[in-house]
Structure 1
Amino acid sequence: MIPAKIDPISITPIREKGVESILDWFERHKQTFYILGWSYLSNQQQMEELFYQSIVKIHKELPRFKSETSFETWVTSIFIHICREIANDSSLQASEESEQQKNLFKALDQLKEYEKEAIVLTYVKGLSHGETAQLLQVSVEKIKELLFSGIQLIKKEMGFGLPFNGCKEYHKDYIDYLEKTLDRSKKIGFEKHIYHCQDCQEDLATFQDVMLTMSNLTEGIEDFHVPSDFMENVKARLAEKEKHRQLKNKKRKRMGTVFASVFALLVGIEVLTGAFTNIYYSWTEEDQELRAYLQQDLGERLNLEAENNGVKIKIKSAIADDVQTLLFYEIEDTAEDNQYVINNYEGISVENEYDIMNSNANQMYYPPDLESEVNNEKKNVFQGKISLLPLSKEKGTIKLKITQLQKLIGDPSDRNSLRAYENMEYGTGEWSFEIPVTKQPSIEYALDDETEVEGVPIRFDKLTIAPTATILQYSINHAQSGKRINFLNFDNLEVNNKKVKADLYGNSFLESPLDMNWSSFQAHFNPLFGEKPKEVNVQFGSIYLTIEDPKTIILDAAQEYPQTFEYSGSTISIDKVEVGLPSKVVISNHNIEKRAYESLQFNIMGEGENATTSMEMNSEGVLVDKNGTEYNMDINPVPYEEIEQPRYLLTVQGLELRSDNAGEKVIPTRLEIYGYNTTKYLDDVVKISLE
């Protein structure tokens, strides 16, 4: 196996000298990259094209290189990306290969995409598991799984006998054991097991044979000499390109734009496909969510910029569908170290909203991601997204105007707290954009399933798979008495074994239900990117109920308070009944452990002419997560979005009562409780059939 190398070269000279330094770098590394290229291609014409395109691409993308990774790893990602492009180009035909190569390449071609990439990068390029995991954007454990399954299939293709029959729980240790990286304690246990298990002994021996055979094959490829004129031909092509560039110097910028447009078009029509499209975007787009949309060809890079008062706003991309129009932005304070975000509801307007957007739709909300790695790298740059209304047309241009930005204040660790919003600061200016958008199609699936939750019928009506969201439309029956479900919260939706989480802010009520006994809602989940559902499972998270449980308590201001009474398994205290202007009634229950209710639905009744009153309520409460852990709302920060299924239990409810006749006192006579509200946690999973 070719040993992995750590390139000690500094990136600074390469940036300064440009193409010449990149070419020199490839001259020193040509052997390993030539071998890597031969894993995908098979003639010198293809290989020359590969090196030429790689050097051009690296030179173009060099300003975006991040020093967090090694230069060689970054180059490898681009190199393989172009390998795949050329391998898919039928205009460059392959030549004859040696029998040894044929056997290896035939076996590799039988692997799944990620299995092949893991094998090639590990055993041909010689990268570590960590470096391979970084390139493929998966975990190290996943790389080991891919290597195991890939070697298992190569074993079959190259005639090494039957599938592995050893104990499955030890399969994951084969690679670490043979590479001598298994922890000592695990190694001892593994060797004890192998000693007593004949099947595992045979498995391990065969597995080792396959790995040795692969090493021998790759070593055989390494013996192939890079043709003496190979790099000279590449240099000649680059020199010709430079000569052409100088002759066309006046048109250079224009031609660069055309090249970028053509390259974007190639990506759009999926000439550049597979795992290494993901690698390419991993180096050119920091925002992981936007990167996913670009990989799926659901939008394009825009990078529209406007600057005012030392603050530069860039609209990076726009993703539009029937649900919403997502704008991904970056804000840079070029004068000071401030971070700004766009507030969905203040200082932003679409000047042609009524011409281009669906004003009847609900606008989605996404809180700014204050904890992302990219937003903690620089003190003066913030990347985020906002949701606008969906388009009413198939395509158009959004005329966006921004006049105010919200400034993030305080330490980043405090920004999720309520206190961060008490003294908000703003930056003002004027930033205008004309944003071209094209609405991406959505697919709707009619549903006709019904289930019951706490005895209340729930009906599933429709599933919509849109590029920016997955939407489940459902209805709750409220014809029965005694119990009503106000809200139904979901945990996740699973389509074809792929789970997507529910959007915390994505529940919405639908007007004009078809049946007056049903209330219709929409639940939003993360996008599925065009998944065609064969099987749909939905997992409930919780429900918010209203329970009818009437009880009347007589009040008498002449008596001494506090007094207590029992209700729904709890002891409730009436702390105060006071007649005055206004009259006051205070009830409390500080014991929240295993309490049936979160809040009471009640009214205070007066007597005689003073029975008609107005009430003002003041309340106190405590935030509790699913496990019963309490969070003090008066102590900031409260990480609300991080709390698992939070609920708010009222501990004190104080009322002030006033008569409709000014100057008259209200005499409280009865506390009439109609029922209570409560949250119940669920873990039910319902399988939904598609029509």
Structure 2
Amino acid sequence: MIIPVKNNPILPVTIRVKDIESIVNWFEQHQRSLYAIGWSYLGNQRKIEELFYLAILQVHKELPRFKSSTSFEIWVLSIFIHICRELSLNKSLQASEESDSHQKIFHEFQKLIEKEREVLGLTYIRGLSKDEKAQLLQVSSEQVKELLLSGLQSLRNGMGYGEHYHGCNEYQKLYVDYLERNLERPAKIDFEMHIYHCQDCQEDLAALQEVMVGFTEAIEKFRVPDGFIGNIKERVAQRERHIQQKNNKRKRNGIIAASIFVLAIFAGIFSGVFSKLYYTWTEENQELRAFLQEDVGERLNLEAESGGVKIKIKSAIADDTQTLIFYEIEDSKENNQYMINIDDGVFIENEREIMVANTFPRYFPPDTEMELNNKEKNIYHGKISLRPLKEDTGKVKLKINKVMKLKRNPSDSYVNMVPEEGEWNFEIPVTKKPSTEYALNEKIELEGVPVRLDKLILAPTATILQYSINNEQPAKRIEIINFNDLEVNNKFLKADLYGNSYVHNQPDINWSIFQANFEPLFEKETNEVKVQFGSVYLSIEDHKTIKLDASKEYPQTFKYAGSTITINKVEIGQPSTVIFSNHEIKNRAYESLHYFIETEQGENSMEGDYEGVIVDKNGKEYDMNKITTKIYEEMEQPRHFFTVQSVKLPGNKVIPKSLDITGYNTTKYLDDVVEVETELIVKDKAGTQ
């Protein structure tokens, strides 16, 4: 049974006082049991990576709403299982990519109905009590017992034991309590006397016990793939770095003189350009102005005020990919600027009812470089992305209980965000605009890995390139593709720095589907698209084991991937520490390593910290801890090199036995340009192709 150390019923202090890193560490400590639960839903490592990533973000977002009266473990598991259910809606993923490495019993477990699978998993994988399972799954304790029994019986049938068992109904319901030694003594004596005289119950109980033991043994042998949690840590770290960056500067167009505007009104009434001229004169936000001019949204000007901070919802622009909310925040008491952080303090009360579940909002960092945000010291203009609507129209019940005060550092343009609480509620009417989709059907290779260009989506809020990466070559895998731009109808559309995302619907486990976002085109027809590639981020499998011995003198060095790596320190204590480094960046094959520390105690959790540098395409180095947003914006295709990695092994004098490197990540620059013909995808009114 993969039973982790039990949490306190209240929020752990390390999570209560720290940032998202502490949540990642919690997931790392519990990764075996969580991975096994995730595998029972998804059966696919890449999907489980996405599950962990989304669960970490959701826990971080919902943390302010956590109530200390609830067990932190149960609260996190409720979020984790909810995301499991969402991601498992695509039944084509139920065939596991790891079918040769796990026993048949675990595959039969995966086929159980959802409630049975959840009860068995929470019992034998996570080790929850009956009451905890009932609370988590929102069923009665009696139903938990029934599901546990029926789940074991279904598992037994799937394993080929047959369905010929005819145990007595009165005593069948006591099987699980008896096997788990939970029966009171009088009931236990009565049960054993009955079993002694009833051949049917003997056979029934024995077969059930054999399945239970086999399932437990299969769980004990379950292992998390090498480098699994490292990939997730890198994604979270990369996202955190992005949060500290800003969108590219936008230059504001000049305002047309009022006299020209007045003359143009009369011409516009008949020529159809009135709205363009009107919004040019009346809307200061250049990005919102473009949407209004193209008639894909309308002004709303909904207002709410709390503590002297007034939020105005200016407009909502919606399509099949997202719902954009443009807002303005004014501090009526002081000269402060505030922004809305979609991941902290923002809730959609009716999100499940009106929005598409298996999509994820995009992130937009603070844009303090925009000219509009430098006009008034107490007014900030921004936008947030929400999930798309299920229907063509809807009313979004938006609740905001926290905004972020932007504190600028004049010396380096760096922006800190300080949360401030309040209460702002809105009901936002939204109308979804249609998108046009084109099939591309282009197959290419990048760095020897097959890649498909599948689809071009011309949506009002973005131009989207959908592509797929083949993942049948574990020795060399593309994690993500970075694009420079798209050329559509002789217009160059810049790639969105924050717009590369994993697609929920994955019909083929050998291909991983992604979407890259570019600037909106506001056109619906095209015959050809040119794709300009920028770089690929690769995972390379390359195993090496380095023995560790705390009794030896350090530093010591070893060779890996053409580089010399130094083990600076191996120290046993509370906690034990391993530090290794490589400061040589030039021509280094790897940027970061996938590794784990093997200990004499067996598997052990790790807490890591690192130092590093950022290197641009021209080879110029920047200290990772001294990078400002302004500097980062001016860099060309930066790469993140880790130079020092410090690992702590929690526990009492845990003895590190070896450093096991399983592979590494690296970036390869590209200059490929691919021209692709398009074929219009025709859909019916229901959206079916």
What range describes the TM-score normalised by the shorter chain of this pair? 0.5 to 0.7
- CA separation in 2, counterparts of 1:408 and 1:594? 39
Correspondence for 2:477 among 472, 484, 487: 484
Distance 1:368 1:580 in 2: 43
- Relative to structure 1, the CA distance from residue 638 to residue 624 in structure 2 (aligned partners, 3 Å threshold; closer, same or farther) is farther
Match of 1:679 in 2: 667
* Residue type at the aligned position of 2:565: I
Alignment of 1:225-624 (within 5 A): 271-273=271-273, 278-411=276-409, 416-417=414-415, 420-421=416-417, 424-426=418-420, 428-606=421-599, 610-624=601-615
Q: 1:627 aligns with which of 618, 629, 650?
A: 618
- State the distance in 2 between where 1:580 and 1:305 align: 57
By how many angstroms is 1:663 displaced? Answer: 4.6
Contact 1:81-1:277 at 8 Å conserved across structures: no
Distance 1:310 1:486, change over 3 A: same
Residue in 2 aligned with 1:148?
Answer: none
Shift of 1:618: 2.3
8 Å CA contact 1:363, 1:389 repeated in 2: yes
Preserved CA contact (<8 Å) 2:408 2:414: no
Q: Provide the C-alpha distance between the structure 1 equivalents of 2:453 and 2:553, rounded to a whole number of angstroms.
A: 54
The alpha carbon displacement at 1:627 in A equals: 2.0
Q: Distance in 1 between matches of 2:475 and 2:570?
A: 30
Is this contact kept in 2: 1:348–1:403, CA < 8 A?
yes
Aligned equivalents of 2:638, 2:390: Cα separation in 1: 37
C-alpha spacing 1:354/1:664, structure 2 compared with 1 (3 Å): closer
Give, in whole Å, the separation in 1 of the partners of 2:352 and 2:377: 37
1:622/1:633 contact within 8 Å kept: yes
Q: Distance in 2 between matches of 1:605 and 1:578?
A: 14
* In structure 2, distance between residues paired with 1:447 and 1:462: 5
- Once the two structures are superposed, residues 606-645 of structure 1 have per-residue CA deviations (whole angstroms, 9 ceiling, x without a partner) of 45xx344333322211122222222223336344444332
1:201 paired residue number: none
Shift of 1:295: 1.0
Could you tell me whether the CA contact under 8 Å between 2:616 and 2:639 is conserved in 1? Answer: yes
Q: 1:351 to 1:561 in 2, by over 3 A?
A: closer
Against the structure 1 CA distance between its residues 282 and 412, is the aligned structure 2 distance closer, same or farther, given a 3 Å change threshold?
farther
2:265 counterpart residue number: 82
Following superposition, the deviation at residue 538 of structure 1 comes to 1.0
The alpha-carbon deviation at position 388 of structure 1 amounts to: 1.6
CA distance in 2, matches of 1:680, 1:76: 54
Report 1 or 2 for greater relative contact order, CA contacts < 8 Å, sequence distance ≥ 6.
2
Which amino acid letter does the alignment assign opposite residue 466 of structure 2? Q
Q: SS of 1:560's equivalent?
A: coil
Q: Deviations over 1:277-327 (max 9, x none)?
A: 544422211000111011111111222223333222221111111111111
Equivalences for 1:65-104 in 2 at 5 Å? Answer: 74-85=257-268, 88=270
TM-score by length of 1: 0.58
Select the residue among 629, 638, 641 that pairs with 1:646: 638
Q: 1:130-141 alignment to 2 at 5 Å?
A: none
Aligned partner letter, 2:473: Q
| Counterpart contact for 1:77–1:280, Cα < 8 Å | no
Q: Secondary structure at the match of 1:504?
A: strand
Q: Offset at 1:395?
A: 1.2
**CA spacing shift, 1:334–1:502, aligned 2, 3 Å:** same
Secondary structure at the residue paired with 2:384? Answer: strand
Query: Residue 304 of structure 1 aligns to a residue in which SS?
Result: strand
Query: Secondary structure of the residue that 2:257 maps to in structure 1?
Result: helix
- CA distance in structure 2 between the aligned counterparts of 1:453 and 1:429, rounded to whole angstroms: 49
State the distance in 2 between where 1:300 and 1:604 align.
56
- Rounded to whole Å, the distance in 2 between the matches of 1:638 and 1:588 is 27
Q: Which residue of 2 aligns with 1:666?
A: 655
**8 Å contact from structure 1 (residues 303, 314) kept in 2:** yes
Secondary structure, aligned partner of 1:290: helix
Contact conserved, 1:414 with 1:636, CA < 8 A, in 2? no
SS at match of 2:499: coil
Q: Distance in 1 between matches of 2:674 and 2:398?
A: 43
Offset of 1:666 from its aligned partner? 1.5
Write the deviation string for residues 478-534 of structure 1: whole angstroms up to 9, x where unpaired: 112421111111111111111111111111112342222111111111111124121
* Runs (5+) with no aligned partner, structure 2: 1-252, 680-689
* Alignment deviations for residues 413-452 of structure 1 (CA, whole Å, 9 cap, x no partner): 65644xx14xx141x4333333222110011112211100
How far the C-alpha of 1:586 sits from its partner, in A, is: 1.7
**Is contact 2:613–2:621 with CA below 8 Å preserved after alignment?**
yes
Provide the rounded CA distance (Å) in 1 between the counterparts of 2:579 and 2:608. 10
Q: Is the CA contact 1:324–1:389 (under 8 Å) kept in the aligned structure 2?
A: yes
Q: Distance in 2 between matches of 1:604 and 1:305?
A: 54
Q: Residue 78 of structure 1 aligns to a residue in which SS?
A: helix
**AA partner of residue 645 (structure 1):** Q
Q: Which secondary structure state, in structure 2, belongs to the residue aligned with residue 521 of structure 1?
A: strand
Percent identity over the alignment? 58
User: What is the RMSD computed on CA atoms of the aligned residues?
Assistant: 2.4
Counterpart amino acid of residue 84 in structure 1 = A
Contact 1:327 1:385 in 2 (8 A): yes
Is 1:656–2:648 an aligned residue pair? Answer: yes
| 2-structure distance, mates of 1:307, 1:322 | 31
So what's the TM-score if we normalise by structure 2? 0.58
Deviation at 1:665, TM superposition (A): 4.1
CA radius of gyration, larger in: 1
Residue type of the alignment partner of 2:378 = N
> Against the structure 1 CA distance between its residues 657 and 535, is the aligned structure 2 distance closer, same or farther, given a 3 Å change threshold?
same
SS at match of 1:507: strand
SS in structure 2 of the partner of residue 77 of structure 1: helix
Say if 1:664 and 1:530 are closer, same or farther in 2 by CA, change over 3 A: same
Shift in CA distance, 554/75, structure 1 to aligned 2, threshold 3 Å: closer
Q: Counterpart amino acid of 1:556?
A: D
**C-alpha contact (below 8 Å) 1:582/1:657 kept by paired residues:** yes
Cα pair 2:458 2:523 within 8 Å, conserved: yes
Is residue 573–residue 652 contact of structure 2 (8 Å, CA) maintained in 1? no
- 1:462: Cα distance to partner? 1.6
Change (3 A) 1:667 1:444: closer
| 2:290 alignment partner, SS class | helix
Q: Count the aligned residue pairs.
A: 426
SS in 2 for 1:85: helix
The amino acid of 1:329's aligned partner reads Y
